[in-house]
Structure 1
Amino acid sequence: MGHAGEQEQPREVRGGGLAARDIAAKCTIRNGSRLLPYINTRNTARDMGVIRGILGERKLSYIGWSYGTYLGAVYTQLFPRHSDRTVLDSAVDPANDNAVGLNWAITCADNTVSWPRDPARYRRDAHREKARHPIYGDFAANITPCAFWPRGAEPATRVDNTAAALVIQNQWDPQTPLSSGRALHRALHGSRLVYIHGGRGHTVYALPGAPARVTRTVDAYLTDGHLPKTDLTCNS
């Protein structure tokens, strides 16, 4: 797809804005604006429900890491009667306000209501965040293809249920921070939080070096279906 010359673009759309718009334009051309609004987390969760039905299973047990935690939470919200043992490791905030780890299609379709459409807004936010956070910079505030994306077919799912999930969270997770894990724990009222004090890195369970107590707790839950009686704190 051809683009107008640089001299014809508003100042706020140049640079990163042009790249973001180019991604959105190419995805729209290749996939069609009729398809893109439907590539979202809700429909992925519905696909999981279809797979469960095809397999003849009454309930689905699930382990999700990172963005997979939001997907698992959405599944419990849409299909509570068909949810069984659910482990959510390194949780994305269910409000989904900054899901930068997702691919653009899902990120943009899930958040088209909240993503600003004015490129100048991103420019102002980026300058502000760079001043406030000199080390991290404006990474999370800069413009993305979502500013130019077709509107999603439906809003993102609000997670608010009593799913008996097990939420695993490192203290120093650089991608899904502790605040996100706690937010998901609050949204799933029947859940238990396993907090790794001093834990570093993104994702915990089934990785080399995972605290033994985390492994025992998750294994026991997946085996017998019983959550810990209270939230747990483990040392890294």
Structure 2
Amino acid sequence: MRKTLSLAVAAATMATALIPSTSQAETKDDLNWDACPADASPGIPFPAGMQCTTLKVPLDYRNPAGPKIDVAVSRLPSKDPAKRRGILMTNPGGPAAGLGYPATLVLAKLPQSVLDQYDVIGFDPRGIGHSTPVTCDLTAEQQLYGNIPPYAKNAADVVKRAGEVQQIAKQCAASKTGSLLPHMSVANVARDMDQIRSALGEAKTSYLGASWGTHLGAVYTTLFPERSDRFVLDSNLAPGGWDYPSDRLFSQGVEDRFPDFAAYAAANFREYGLGRTPAQVTAKFHELAARLDKNPIPADGVEFDGSMFRLLNFAYSYGATQMPGLAQLWKSLDAGEPPAPLEASAAKIAADGVDQVISGRYAIICNSSRWPTSVKTYQHAVAVDRIRFPLFGAAGANVQPCAYWPNPAEPPIQIGDHGPANVLMVQNLRDPATPLAGARKMRQALGDRATMVTADEGGHGVYVFGKNQCANYAATTFLTTGVRPAHDYTCTAAASPR
């Protein structure tokens, strides 16, 4: 039996009651579909028939007749009208650009049965990509760690980082897009999704979202339960989204995932020489990190220190295909050589224009949750997590610009269990970025609305990007038939380790 409306959902409902809901199926817009921008899907070909457009949406949904901003939208139409069910809105996580995500899903072999039943919809969230962007005018140095804090070796490192991120927050507010910042939030991205649904003339939307996209999907189906059809949430954040507890969970995720790499490196000792056993590989990690903390290696304009080493171990843990590259990086560093190519080069950061992605991400996550404001809180958490999670704890617990962010326009949306039972969660057991511990909290928050299928795999991403046929089958079956598993269960490991 579904639980009654919780106080958390009631609070979210009251918080959004003042925001008019203008989206209805009968307000279909005449959208001008055209070729997609070439940079919407770098290195990935657009599938035949994929088109893009721009939709005007309110900057502030409390003032729907006020200023408008652009949201870039893509569509890969179903080619089988007899089987077409509706639209499948998608989000790759991040927050990051998703305009080209339908092309990525096709390349990853999204089943034809899903492509037949849905027009697959992608979009760039407000503040990012081809939607109206925001900027914090970040320098290459400020962009170096992206949205993940550096590893803090001591309390003084936390104070240093606090000063750096306070400056970032000031730059964001003072930038030419500073007036837009209060309206960059996950709740408003969800409302933009509902505007897309309405403009397409659809009464409901189905959804496939990964990583941060699971939070976006959960927020949408909390705000618009009656307009939610079949929702698949892949690699789940906790119900608070990307907040400080989520940042600290990165450290748990790295601890969960690292044994897979240690086993790989030990099994390939002859090639990499990093240790004959997983225990020896783990000891080598700490040896390299300590050595680089004391004697960083200059590489492409970047001081490759222990903090950068730890960050790349986190970033390279998303899939098995990255393990050889990570092991080679260790081998080079162990020999005192700079890794090549170094993806974190200062020149590459400046050339890629990463500022806009990082700035948009800061704006959305900082406006969507509440962060501690005391430096002592972060110092204490760093000291605790450095011991609890020695691989990455003092990075995950470090301070972010959100600690100094101006007050958002509305309180965070509270995910709850009020609405139809139409959510399927899929989750790897050893996910470094969105660990199982957070997914279990999301599962609890959604209550009877959700069923969760876990896969005995490592890495970030399950559906179509993973090799677990059991978990993939559950997601495809739900999207194409509406039939979910009757209860939560775990799929055994796939033949190919991730």
TM-score by structure 2 length? Answer: 0.42
Distance in 1 separating the partners of 2:157 and 2:472: 49
Query: Is residue 229 from structure 1 mapped to residue 374 from structure 2 by the alignment?
Result: no
Q: What is the aligned counterpart of 2:453 among 163, 170, 194?
A: 194
CA distance in 2 between counterparts of 1:132 and 1:186 reads 25
Of 71, 89, 107 in structure 1, the residue corresponding to residue 365 of structure 2 is 107
What is the aligned length?
A: 223
* SS at structure 2 position matched to 1:87: strand
Preserved contact between residue 158 and residue 399 of structure 2 (Cα < 8 Å)? no
Give the aligned partner of residue 138 of structure 1: 394
Q: Work out the CA distance in 2 between the residues paired with 1:229 and 1:124.
A: 43
Residue 452 of structure 2 aligns with an amino acid whose one-letter code is: L
C-alpha displacement of 1:14: 4.5
1:1-236 to 2 correspondences below 5 Å: 14-31=159-176, 33-96=178-241, 97-98=243-244, 99-100=246-247, 103-112=361-370, 115-161=371-417, 162-163=419-420, 164-188=422-446, 189-196=448-455, 198-207=456-465, 209-236=466-493
Report % sequence identity. Answer: 38
Deviation, 1:117, is: 1.6
User: Matches of 1:46 and 1:122 in 2, distance apart?
Assistant: 33
CA RMSD of aligned residues (A): 2.1
CA distance in 2, matches of 1:22, 1:144: 11
Residue 212 of structure 1, CA deviation: 1.1
Q: Deviations over 1:128-182 (max 9, x none)?
A: 3223332223112111101111111111111112441000011111111112212
Given that 1:12 and 1:119 are in contact with CA atoms closer than 8 Å, whether structure 2 keeps it comes out as no
Deviation (angstroms), 1:121: 2.7
Letter in 2 for 1:149: W
State the alpha-carbon separation in 1 of the partners of residues 181 and 411 from structure 2.
Answer: 14
Offset, 1:224: 1.4
Q: Which of the pair has more CA radius of gyration?
A: 2
SS in 2 for 1:15: helix
CA 1:192–1:202 in structure 2 vs 1: closer, same or farther (change >3 Å)? same
Q: Deviations over 1:97-143 (max 9, x none)?
A: 4344992111211123xx12222332233223223332223112111
Matched to 2:163, the amino acid is: L
- Measure, in 1, the Cα distance between the counterparts of 2:406 and 2:162: 16
Which piece of structure 1 moves more, 120-129 or 175-184? 120-129
Residue 395 of structure 2 aligns to a residue in which SS?
A: coil
Change (3 A) 1:132 1:213: closer
Distance 1:130 1:180 in 2: 20
Residue 185 to residue 19, structure 1, CA distance change in 2 (3 Å)? same
Cα distance in 2 between the residues matched to 1:184 and 1:235 = 22
The letter of the residue matching 1:151 is: N
Which one-letter code corresponds to 1:42 in the other structure?
Answer: A
Q: Give the letter aligned to residue 194 of structure 1.
A: V
Aligned to 1:169, what secondary structure does the other structure show?
strand
The answer as to whether partners of 2:158 and 2:378 remain within 8 angstroms in 1 is no
Unaligned runs of 5+ in 1: 2-10
Provide the rounded CA distance (Å) in 1 between the counterparts of 2:385 and 2:475: 38
Distance in 2 (CA, whole Å) between partners of 1:220 and 1:130 is: 42
